[in-house]
Structure 1
């Protein structure tokens, strides 16, 4: 089938308002508006263009942002280099094109492939780094929130404006507006609103794996934390609750929510995903903070580069250990609908049990005499 496309070219893909993300490699400047026609092959959510005929392309102001991104990537390569440098570029800038396949597979089998896709986790870390810095230099909270939001939006553009980071940016702005206006914002409402906004402008995004994984992960986190909210409030040790229990719940919730889709689309279930993420996520935060220092303090480039390299090296070693453990991953048949139906069946049972417990319903059991 041949289609006519028109959209923005962003690193091996075109974002078309009608067809969503279309995979393609073009020798034009990123962030340019491009239009033309092509044949495409579609399987599930994967859409790849072939026999492309470009009828025109026009540069935009976003070209400068991507040029700046290349400059930052070069600094990572100069200071860190090798596989660790490529891991840093993938995690922080979303540049996965140069990442060796065995590294990506290692992240997958540890249940940490999401760390290589700039998403809500990365956006939140960057937001907190900027906000803390602004508060340290005595900028008031409300202006600091707005400035941080603007810089995070720039970061979203810098990383290619993929669906997970777009979702996170929209939710972040709802949060900022609520904080500035001193109103409570319901996270589930902001999640729904961000999904609706994305689907209004890119309806076909609903078929995207990244869209599905991103929204289901956040939805699972919000729902499971809500269910256990009363139990968590009973924990008296605030440090334990804030730094151990809640991160564990968040990680477990995201894993439980996304593992059926991961199994369905990619054909594997990482059994040590919870352990891997509990260890790797703090290291990712350290990696991002260190890389920002690397970019902003050139005089300490060598020292900071060594520190960032050491953090990335530690991440890689931990994944190698987990990857080599027996039964670290279970391989299943890709796109087997029984996976989704089985998971849905379990969810319905759990919801039923929770409803009975909440209402205090007693199910009578008759014991024959």
Structure 2
């Protein structure tokens, strides 16, 4: 046996929601290759031992994040603690699946992404404290950037907060040097620096969404401001339209990415953000203030936490109201070529070419889709089959009505024609078929199209292939009006 020392960057995902920032982990497992360019090596295994980080920076980051985590846990309830931690440290991994789905459908999940809003609050807090200290502006700027770098490390160096911190540094540097720099130049320089440090960030979804949102605001908002907002004289209306214009610019810019990666598009995001973002901003401000006060007086921090809990409850209630509106999120499957052409509309020179190309490609895709087709969508709740005749068939082995309702809502399905399940837990218009607990599908037939399961069942996952024999199946002679057979290996149910 030989011990080989080899250094290679890997990614490890743990099921436990613990803070490991700045600590050394002893993990026993295997390194596997990944097909994704931005994450070539994945480490699968178990954490055997954890030790405090030996570096000073690692110890500081771990201590500060541990203080934030323990303070919020002692001040807030479980559901509010998960949401509050996500608001101040970023990330939606702590949220329960149902609550996370609510934020996705309402189009406000981005409030859990640490970005320029959080960086702005940190700058405001530190800048307010430094007002009373008689030092030069350059030293104040250096202190603010030092605190921002510390906050970036506490949040785990997420692309959004790194982008906002670097943009804040470049913008502050331009003010100190008394240079008039365009915001587009700052975001371009930031993107170049990011790619020079880590070229694989171009494949990172978080980085793509973060930069796309900023580019959308810088390009589209001035157009909307000159065309609409400047003509409004009432201050209240002007403030509302400005907020909606910023949200619309960012949403329109990230929409192609949302459709490409998640096949979802929030339709009410502009309106929901108009209400939820101000509440989230006040909540984030109070969270920062509460953490600072908590270092001096826990009782005073507890009083502030009551107000934070009320705001978090309001945030959840409003998000659920928007998520419950029909078609608050639509499911779209659009060709990546069309999504790419949408970004060329920003360029005046390529705008006409992009529009004509989108129209021509859409016509060809529409003509090719005129033939009858069956759409099959599979999720954790079950399988949805949509026939060319507009009928919806849902097959599931689960008994949860909530999971079924959420899955169907995500697919914009308001009614079911047929339900095949272990029990009738969802209303259907035509017929319910009771399924056995263990299910094997032998044949599915739609009109002239027949899908047969071969004698051997092959399960393929990436390069791995597992073959199962067909000993559990019973063979029956094909009947003229037989559509498919459902069997658990003992009893057989025939549906025509």
- Bucket of the pairwise TM-score, normalised by the shorter protein: 0.7 to 0.9
Structure 2 CA distance for partners of 1:195 and 1:305, relative to 1, 3 Å: same
Structure 2 CA distance for partners of 1:353 and 1:136, relative to 1, 3 Å: farther
- Bigger mean CA offset, 72-81 vs 119-128: 119-128
The equivalent position to 1:284 in structure 2, one of 280, 283, 291, is 280
Q: Displacement of 1:323 after TM fit? A: 0.4
Structure 2 CA distance for partners of 1:280 and 1:156, relative to 1, 3 Å: same
**Residues 31 and 41 of structure 2 are in contact (CA less than 8 Å); yes or no, is this contact kept in structure 1?**
no
Structure 2 CA distance for partners of 1:255 and 1:355, relative to 1, 3 Å: closer
Structure 2 CA distance for partners of 1:249 and 1:65, relative to 1, 3 Å: same
- Bigger mean CA offset, 132-141 vs 209-218: 132-141
Q: Does 1:187 align with 2:183?
A: yes
- Bigger mean CA offset, 25-34 vs 197-206: 25-34
**Residues 209 and 254 of structure 2 are in contact (CA less than 8 Å); yes or no, is this contact kept in structure 1?**
yes
The equivalent position to 1:25 in structure 2, one of 8, 11, 14, is 14
Greater RCO, 1 or 2 (C-alpha within 8 Å, sep 6+):
1
Q: Displacement of 1:236 after TM fit? A: 6.7
2:309 is matched with 309
Q: Displacement of 1:234 after TM fit? A: 3.4
Q: Displacement of 1:185 after TM fit? A: 1.9
1:111 & 1:241 partners in 2: Cα distance?
23
2:109 & 2:131 partners in 1: Cα distance?
33
Q: Displacement of 1:254 after TM fit? A: 0.6
Structure 2 CA distance for partners of 1:46 and 1:121, relative to 1, 3 Å: farther
Q: Displacement of 1:238 after TM fit? A: 8.6
- The gaps in structure 2 that reach 5 residues or longer are 1-5, 353-496
**Residues 188 and 219 of structure 1 are in contact (CA less than 8 Å); yes or no, is this contact kept in structure 2?**
yes
1:132 & 1:149 partners in 2: Cα distance?
14
1:28 & 1:81 partners in 2: Cα distance?
19
Which protein has the larger Cα radius of gyration, Structure 1 or Structure 2?
2
1:28 & 1:237 partners in 2: Cα distance?
50
Q: Displacement of 1:111 after TM fit? A: 1.3
1:250 is matched with 246
In terms of fraction of residues, the more helix-rich structure is 1
1:330 is paired with a residue whose SS is: strand
2:25 & 2:306 partners in 1: Cα distance?
41
1:318 is matched with 318
- The gaps in structure 1 that reach 5 residues or longer are 8-13, 15-21, 357-369
Q: Does 1:86 align with 2:82?
A: yes
Aligned pairs (5 A) from 1:41-56: 41-43=34-36, 49-51=42-44
Structure 2 CA distance for partners of 1:63 and 1:101, relative to 1, 3 Å: farther
CA RMSD of aligned residues (A): 3.3
Q: So what's the TM-score if we normalise by structure 2?
A: 0.60
**Residues 111 and 273 of structure 1 are in contact (CA less than 8 Å); yes or no, is this contact kept in structure 2?**
yes
1:219 is matched with 215
1:310 & 1:324 partners in 2: Cα distance?
21
2:95 is matched with 99
2:257 is matched with 261
Q: Deviation string for 1:45-92 (max 9, x for gaps)?
A: 5667144699x9963222331222122111111111221111010110
1:92 & 1:319 partners in 2: Cα distance?
18
